[in-house]
Amino acid sequence: MITNMKSLKAILEEKGIKPTYQRLKILEYMSRNTVNHPTVEMIYEKLLKDIPTISMTTVYNTLNAFLEKGLVDAITITGTEMRYDFNTDSHHHFLCKRCGRIMDIEVTCPFSEGKKLQYGHRVEEVHGYFKGICKDCLKDVRNSAEESSL
């Protein structure tokens, strides 16, 4: 895990972002929640416990700064709100229509190789995702089906 080797402070300084308390806390949260793909709301609510004065605007501003410097990726799968990803390595996602969770999917195929010119366009980002019902929700659905047939 990169976060252990390089301190959060060093990560920010390397990108030319002043390592303020709130920025460090936001980056720390992101680095510890790679499976979540959290919303601004989720980050804000959690940090509120440590920093009672933090504002939503700071979370928005900070994530936009991180985004510009390539410290995080933005995921626009749901259509309602932005989800953020600390893992900027090329990978795909799965959105569960039932529980709303977004999970990582490793895909190895020509599509995800990316960064090549397509149709004469200059490709800078490659995104791929699936939508459906996740493993856990499938189990839930099966269980409630059993119950109702008792």
The residues binding Zn ion (CB under 5 A) are 96, 98-99, 134, 137
Q: What gap in Å lies between CA 147 and CA 150, rounded to an integer? A: 5
In this chain, which of 35, 56, 99, 123 binds a second copy, going by CB under 8 A? 123
Distance CA 23, CA 13 (A): 11
Q: Could you give the string, one character per residue 42-71, with x where binding to DNA holds by CB under 7 A and - elsewhere?
A: ---------x-xxxxxx-xxx-x-------
| Count of C-beta atoms within a 10 Å radius of residue 145 | 9
- 129 and 112 Cβ atoms separated by less than 8 Å: no
Query: Cα–chain-centroid distance for residue 147?
Result: 35
| Nearest distance from C-beta of residue 71 to DNA, angstroms | 14
How far apart are CB 6 and a second copy at their closest, in Å? 28
Site membership for a second copy, residue 94 (CB under 8 A): yes
Question: Binding partner of residue 103 among a second copy, Zn ion, DNA, none, CB under 5 to 8 Å per kind?
Answer: a second copy
Q: Say which entry of a second copy, DNA, Mn ion, none residue 67 contacts (CB below 5 to 8 A, set by partner kind).
A: none
Contacts of 90 (CB under 8 A, 6+ apart): 112, 114, 126
Please, what sign has the CA dihedral across residues 112, 83, 65, 17? negative
| Site residues for Mn ion per CB under 5 A | 85, 87, 104
Binding site for DNA (CB under 7 A): 17-18, 20-23, 39-41, 51, 53-58, 60-62, 64, 79-82
